[in-house]
Structure 1
Amino acid sequence: MQKRSLTNSNTTNKALLVVGIIFIAFNLRPAITAVGPLISSIRSDMELSNGIAGLITTLPLLSFAVLSLLAPKISYRLGNERSVFIGLLILIIGICIRSVGLNITLFIGTALVGVGIAIGNVLLPSIVKQKFPDRVGLMTSTYSTSMNVFAAFASGMSIPLAQGLNLGWQKSLLSWGVLAIIASFIWFPQLRQNVTANHVKKHTTSKASLWRSAIAWQVTLFMGLQSFIFYSTVAWIPEIVHSHGMSIESSGWMLSIMQFVSLPTTFLTPILAGRLKNQVSIIIGIGVIYLLGIIGLLAGQNHVLLIVSIVFIGLSQGAAISLALALISLRSEDAVQAAELSGMAQSIGYLWAAIGPILIGSLLDLTHSWTPSILVLVVIVIAMTVVGIGAGRNKYVLESKKLSPQ
């Protein structure tokens, strides 16, 4: 009887942990993706220039880049569970401060939003590696899909909340704090578990040796290059298709389609990756479909081909981001290594993400044509595929020996 009770308790704790991970993932994008549709209202209300308004979208990415390196250090002292909870609290505070309605609070709050999300971004792969070592693919699929669903949902709900319910941009953005509060209550029981403080592990990863690892750099560059493409297309796809004759309304729907068609590949790719001996074939497939999609943006007035291209880009994006997250766990020997590799990959990755939209827009200003920008994306896709082939090899980042089949 006691054994059965203990088994039931462990099952309940596991289920609660899975629900907690899903709700953490729910909060890793909405506070950012909800801003884009409201940027014109924010700019007008706060009397901001276009350049300053652009900081609202790039500031969280810069916070990601800085905090991604610091998050593993926080987890060493406090443990993953407490660190993620603190990240949620910072996110809630940032959302509240951002909605006060002053210029200074807008940017301070936005930076704090990035800090809070960065902690969750980095430590979720470590938690998955530690708690579900035999289910890395499935758990990565679950939380990355959850993240993307609410990212798309937040983009679509911003205007209805602000205008349909007459909440205005401040309360529309503030509403996402409710989701973070719910997640904090669901995650709270994890604080009663034995703290997974990484500094007590027998195995510790030398930061210097990790940064000298070829595979670690390949995983990092794969994360960075796919981030470059993702944020560049999210920022400019509506403008690109509008330049080919689509209406503003249809251009906006193209962005929504791109995000929603990514969901199946977001979910399925890590599961497939976890079952294969290596992930090279998946990466080549992503690269080929991505290339077809990006090249299709040169289709001119052929709207059918443009729509097919958008679908191909969306499918590739979903597979690329979820595979990048899965590779962090698959190429790591333990949770400590996963946390440090996650910090390295996401720090550099989000620096690339911040550069992408600016570079693509600057090329448009210089050339008054989308062709050079699209050709840059083609080059980035090829580079992503090349480094991805290296990252997909069956090796750990700090081991020369091959892994057993995943």
Structure 2
Amino acid sequence: MNQNFSRPDTAHDGSAVMDALDKQLVDAEADSLPPPQPPVLRSRRARFVLGASLVLIAFNLRPLFSSLSVLLPEVMDETGLSTTGASLLTTLPVLCLGLFAPFAPKLAQRYGAERTLLGALILLVIGTGLRGLESVPLLFTATFLAGAAIAIGNVLLPGLVKRDFPQSAAIMTGLYTMALCGGSAGAAGLTLPIEHLLTGSWSGALAAWAVPAMIVVLIWTPQALGSRQQVSHNAFRVTGLWRDRLAWQVTFFMGLQSALAYCVFGWLAPILRERGFDATTAGALVSVSVMAQVVTCLAVPSFAVRQKNQCAVNIALVAAATVALLGILFAPTSTVVFWAILQGIGQGGLIAAAMTVIVLRSPDSLACGGASVRHGAGRGLCAGRRRPVAGRAYPWLDGQFPGHRLPVRGAGDRCRDCRAWRWPRAACRRKD
């Protein structure tokens, strides 16, 4: 079997080439050991439980980021953590996304996607719970463990959606992307009230987010252990992505929109507090911004699949998110609520658009997982590179905040990558 696609002699236009590629894709998949198929679900109830479980899992993949941001000043004051240390702490889980994403497909091939995801959830519970111990080294260790778990979940979820809900991929993508936003918003808005409930214990408030993760573990365990799907020890390999220019554009698009999103999760609340808002109000504003993402998380996937070219929509979302973030940073404080909502609408649309591309342009769950690995790495590299810059810019907020260069630069990069919406399919092949 050829490792690369060859150009047919009779193809003289783009459509003929793509038709030939599709034929080769079918041949590549028609192997003696086909890609894993979805488990047979006997009832609508089983499908509902599976879909709800995936949504709940997605909800638990984001509190790690936004729960710390609203308590960051308290953590720095009580532990003596420097601004550089705080920046590294908030960047660590983002770096884990790129570091551990490549291991997810290999683990899924060896143990099965459901069991691998269960292990990641258990690791997430452990990492989140360890944040309850008031120790800076343990705080970094716990964040590292939880970040590794989230990296695995980020890769496996799109593949499970593609495998188990092929006919409703856009709807499911919107739902679990909405759950990602809901987890961020819930953590941003509820962490401070939890801290007050625990008589000012910031460590207890951070560890409290292990509770919903534990609930999801209990729900997912019988489904993971009861899965009869065969585990393949003959590894598949996704080819065609690493040499594809448009696939790289999608990767950088995912990474750049994540850079802005994680800067919002990690530093928007401290910045708002520097602008004069109290801690509870700052957390509520971040929560409002993230909750506004729900609208576009649901609307954009359904709209995007009906368009031949989404460049105009993409540029509009970039403009909305960037202008709104500048408004949050520099506009009068009386208008911050408006800018927070607009920023959420733009950012949520960008997240949903990026996730929709991964799910819809992948021919099966294996290719989807391979694409998720690339995009997880891109997310970790791009977001991890810019988030420390936002942290170092934080102390100079008093009227001359230099971080305005970050969203402007990110907007230009993302506009440049608008052509990524024509990402071609990739072949899914078994290693020789």
Q: TM-score range by the shorter chain?
A: 0.7 to 0.9
Residue 272 (structure 1) aligned with residue 303 (structure 2): yes
Report the CA distance shift for 1:198/1:205 in structure 2 as closer, same or farther (over 3 A). farther
Match 1:213 to one of 244, 249, 269: 244
Decide whether the 8 Å contact of 2:84 with 2:392 is kept in 1: no
CA distance in 2 between partners of 1:360 and 1:370 (Å)? 14
How do 1:133-282 residues align onto structure 2 when only pairs under 5 Å count?
Answer: 133-166=166-199, 168-191=201-224, 192-195=226-229, 197=231, 204-206=237-239, 209-237=240-268, 247-248=277-278, 252-282=283-313
Report the CA distance shift for 1:54/1:297 in structure 2 as closer, same or farther (over 3 A). closer
CA distance in 2 between partners of 1:291 and 1:270 (Å)? 21
Aligned to 1:353: 383
Shift of 1:15: 1.4
Give the residue type in structure 2 aligned to 1:340.
G
Shift of 1:261: 1.6
Give the residue type in structure 1 aligned to 2:209.
W
Residue 317 (structure 1) aligned with residue 368 (structure 2): no
Which structure is higher in helix share?
1
CA distance in 1 between partners of 2:276 and 2:86 (Å)? 26
Aligned to 1:395: 424
Shift of 1:252: 5.0
Match 2:98 to one of 37, 51, 65: 65
Decide whether the 8 Å contact of 1:270 with 1:326 is kept in 2: yes
Shift of 1:236: 4.3
Decide whether the 8 Å contact of 1:278 with 1:394 is kept in 2: no
Deviations 1:261-301 (A, max 9, x none): 22211121122223434433431331332354355458644
Aligned to 1:403: none
CA distance in 1 between partners of 2:86 and 2:391 (Å)? 15
Give the residue type in structure 2 aligned to 1:356.
R
Q: Secondary structure at the match of 1:204?
A: strand
Give the residue type in structure 2 aligned to 1:325.
M
Calculate the aligned-residue CA RMSD, in Å. Answer: 2.8
Bigger Cα displacement from structure 2, 174-183 vs 357-366: 357-366
Shift of 1:142: 0.6
Decide whether the 8 Å contact of 2:87 with 2:392 is kept in 1: no
Shift of 1:344: 0.9
Bigger Cα displacement from structure 2, 11-20 vs 164-173: 164-173
Bigger Cα displacement from structure 2, 71-80 vs 334-343: 71-80
Give the residue type in structure 1 aligned to 2:210.
G
Shift of 1:98: 2.7
Report the CA distance shift for 1:365/1:24 in structure 2 as closer, same or farther (over 3 A). closer
Report the CA distance shift for 1:367/1:50 in structure 2 as closer, same or farther (over 3 A). closer
CA distance in 2 between partners of 1:37 and 1:363 (Å)? 17
Q: State the identity %.
A: 29
TM-score of the superposed pair, with normalisation by structure 1: 0.85
CA distance in 2 between partners of 1:111 and 1:338 (Å)? 25
Q: Secondary structure at the match of 2:61?
A: coil
Shift of 1:190: 2.4
Shift of 1:55: 2.8
Decide whether the 8 Å contact of 1:198 with 1:336 is kept in 2: no
Give the residue type in structure 2 aligned to 1:217.
W
Shift of 1:27: 0.8
Report the CA distance shift for 1:233/1:188 in structure 2 as closer, same or farther (over 3 A). closer
Bigger Cα displacement from structure 2, 40-49 vs 316-325: 40-49
TM-score of the superposed pair, with normalisation by structure 2: 0.80
Match 1:337 to one of 355, 358, 367: 367
Match 1:84 to one of 103, 110, 117: 117
Shift of 1:29: 0.9
Aligned to 2:48: 15
Report the CA distance shift for 1:239/1:187 in structure 2 as closer, same or farther (over 3 A). closer
Runs of 5+ consecutive residues of structure 1 not aligned to the other structure? 1-6, 400-406
Decide whether the 8 Å contact of 1:42 with 1:169 is kept in 2: yes
Shift of 1:8: 8.5
Aligned to 1:52: 85
Shift of 1:93: 1.5
Q: Secondary structure at the match of 2:422?
A: coil
Report the CA distance shift for 1:106/1:361 in structure 2 as closer, same or farther (over 3 A). closer
Report the CA distance shift for 1:287/1:119 in structure 2 as closer, same or farther (over 3 A). same
Report the CA distance shift for 1:336/1:65 in structure 2 as closer, same or farther (over 3 A). same
Decide whether the 8 Å contact of 1:215 with 1:397 is kept in 2: no
Aligned to 2:145: 112
Shift of 1:45: 3.5
Q: Secondary structure at the match of 1:211?
A: coil
How do 1:127-138 residues align onto structure 2 when only pairs under 5 Å count?
Answer: 127-138=160-171
Number of aligned residue pairs: 387
Residue 283 (structure 1) aligned with residue 314 (structure 2): yes
Deviations 1:167-216 (A, max 9, x none): 71222222221211111121123222233646558x6313xx42111222
Give the residue type in structure 2 aligned to 1:390.
R
Report the CA distance shift for 1:193/1:167 in structure 2 as closer, same or farther (over 3 A). farther
Decide whether the 8 Å contact of 2:250 with 2:375 is kept in 1: yes
Give the residue type in structure 2 aligned to 1:259.
V
Report the CA distance shift for 1:373/1:38 in structure 2 as closer, same or farther (over 3 A). closer
